[in-house]
Chain A
């Protein structure tokens, strides 16, 4: 199996349409590490992920496996929140075969490879279906298989389970945990769900509210996998993260003059 690559952000600033979204971020992610980016919506965590994916110019301040990122590449697989990212005109297996087919792999060989990864994500039964016939959870599994087939050293996940119901989300979180350990790849996982981050990550990076977002805190989690939400250490961590992020949300609302409305709502509740 593939092994992970390290990711280095060195004073990274990202600008979208003239607005500085994230500002001078320093972060080193070790090879094979599982890092969650956590923060209020609009804090630029997806922007950061898009930069690592190579969708945005990063001016050489961003290195993966010690090489500057200059564009998208198969060493960095991306799982998107929306299953619109799947190709609806291809069956699930054909979607997974997409990468190997681009590289000119022989039909039989790539079908075998695709079937291997489909079974890894538990989708063998649905291989010949089109994405529209699948549930939301299955579509995300298909996206994961389509990325893993390229044997990336980094997997970038942008709120991949944000649109799923709670039960499906829980199942898929365990799956990602397992796949991460099987493949040994580096995972950067964007989420706004604190529990999701606690269940999965080696380290949780929280961000300040944008614009010009920076890193607020970095929490290293040294608890055994699979994580137990009822563990007192998990609970303490949850409270800390909730307060950190809550403070950011309140700060933004206050800046917008909405904090008083919020306070009165809390009283009413």
Chain B
């Protein structure tokens, strides 16, 4: 029993790591943003504001849109669509992926549809969504659901198929039946794949929401960007784009924090 003394810690202390290199990283990121703003400013001074508005003009426009409530309203509208469509996609995609990954006949039955629809971008369905579901929220949420459910399902299937057969054997010889194998080995083993799928789906939901809002919406960030054209306000476009970028960052961060807090033991890669 001599080797028991040594408990190896395979990971460096995460706290210490973030103290020293974290500051460095934040500093570099800030410097990078400042450089970008500086270059943008120089470029804007040599062109017309209609072509490229300056950072100051964009900030001014953001203030304007904030004060009359347009920006907050657009942010909330887009966020609500993304959150509900994405959540629905995750909630449906995970069980679907598990069943498809585990039961080959079921997977083979649905395979033709998966193989067909995976090449059709959600934007191709914008018109149909409006015809079938009307110009309201349902069409947009449905499009984001379509975007998410595929990615989450495919990732979950991959996860189920990647389950180490050794673990299945170990569980079976420890007394697990078919249902218990599913709930105590396959699902926990697949969590990292589900998380990856959910994160990619989140990114793609942003692509879809903007397209959908440009085609058919009177609010949301996509609509804001599109309306700017009618008023010849290029700086609004910039505000919309900046808001999208920040919103995406916030959503991804929140997802990562939630995953880190709730699913850490399943070792998701975030």
Residues in A with CB closer than 8 Å to B172 are: 54-55, 71-72
Indicate if the CB atoms of A102 and B3 lie closer than 8 Å: no
Indicate if the CB atoms of A130 and B173 lie closer than 8 Å: no
Residues in B with CB closer than 8 Å to A87 are: 167, 185, 188
Is the CB of A134 closer than 8 A to any CB of chain B? yes
The 10 closest A-B pairs by CB, nearest first: A72-B172, A72-B173, A85-B170, A99-B174, A74-B175, A122-B1, A137-B3, A89-B265, A78-B173, A102-B175
Q: How large is the interface on B (under 10, 10 to 19, 20 to 34, 35 or more residues)?
A: 20 to 34
Closest A residue to B9 by beta carbon equals A133
Is the CB of B18 closer than 8 A to any CB of chain A? no
Indicate if the CB atoms of A103 and B7 lie closer than 8 Å: no
Distance, CA A132 to CA B176, complexed state (A)? 23
Indicate if the CB atoms of B8 and A135 lie closer than 8 Å: yes
**B: which residues have CB within 8 A of A?**
1-4, 6-10, 164, 166-167, 169-176, 180, 184-185, 188-189, 191, 265-267
> A145 → chain B, closest Cβ, in Å?
12
Closest B residue to A77 by beta carbon equals B173
Residues in A with CB closer than 8 Å to B191 are: 89
Q: How large is the interface on A (under 10, 10 to 19, 20 to 34, 35 or more residues)?
A: 35 or more
Indicate if the CB atoms of B174 and A171 lie closer than 8 Å: no
A sample of 20 inter-chain contacts (CB < 8 A) reads A53-B169, A53-B173, A54-B172, A55-B169, A72-B169, A72-B173, A73-B173, A73-B175, A78-B169, A82-B166, A89-B189, A89-B265, A98-B171, A98-B174, A123-B4, A126-B4, A133-B10, A135-B3, A135-B6, A135-B7
Indicate if the CB atoms of B174 and A146 lie closer than 8 Å: yes
> B1 → chain A, closest Cβ, in Å?
4
Is the CB of A28 closer than 8 A to any CB of chain B? no
Residues in B with CB closer than 8 Å to A175 are: 1
Residues in A with CB closer than 8 Å to B169 are: 53, 55, 72, 78, 80, 85
Closest B residue to A123 by beta carbon equals B4
Distance, CA A88 to CA B189, complexed state (A)? 9
Residues in A with CB closer than 8 Å to B6 are: 135
Indicate if the CB atoms of A84 and B2 lie closer than 8 Å: no
> A56 → chain B, closest Cβ, in Å?
11
Residues in A with CB closer than 8 Å to B176 are: 102
Indicate if the CB atoms of A103 and B175 lie closer than 8 Å: yes
Residues in A with CB closer than 8 Å to B266 are: 89
Distance, CA A167 to CA B191, complexed state (A)? 37
Is the CB of A129 closer than 8 A to any CB of chain B? yes
Chain B interface secondary structure, helix, strand, loop or mixed? helix
Closest A residue to B4 by beta carbon equals A122
Is the CB of A10 closer than 8 A to any CB of chain B? no
Indicate if the CB atoms of B166 and A74 lie closer than 8 Å: no
Is the CB of A125 closer than 8 A to any CB of chain B? yes
Known: A85-B167, A87-B167, A89-B266. A138 touches B3 (CB 8 A): yes
Distance, CA A78 to CA B167, complexed state (A)? 11
Closest B residue to A122 by beta carbon equals B1
Residues in B with CB closer than 8 Å to A78 are: 169-170, 173
Indicate if the CB atoms of B8 and A102 lie closer than 8 Å: no
Residues in A with CB closer than 8 Å to B3 are: 135, 137-138, 167-168, 171
Residues in B with CB closer than 8 Å to A55 are: 169, 172-173
> B13 → chain A, closest Cβ, in Å?
13
Distance, CA A86 to CA B169, complexed state (A)? 11
Is the CB of A110 closer than 8 A to any CB of chain B? no
Distance, CA A72 to CA B171, complexed state (A)? 9
Distance, CA A181 to CA B169, complexed state (A)? 27
Distance, CA A84 to CA B163, complexed state (A)? 11
Is the CB of A150 closer than 8 A to any CB of chain B? yes
Residues in B with CB closer than 8 Å to A88 are: 267
Is the CB of A76 closer than 8 A to any CB of chain B? yes
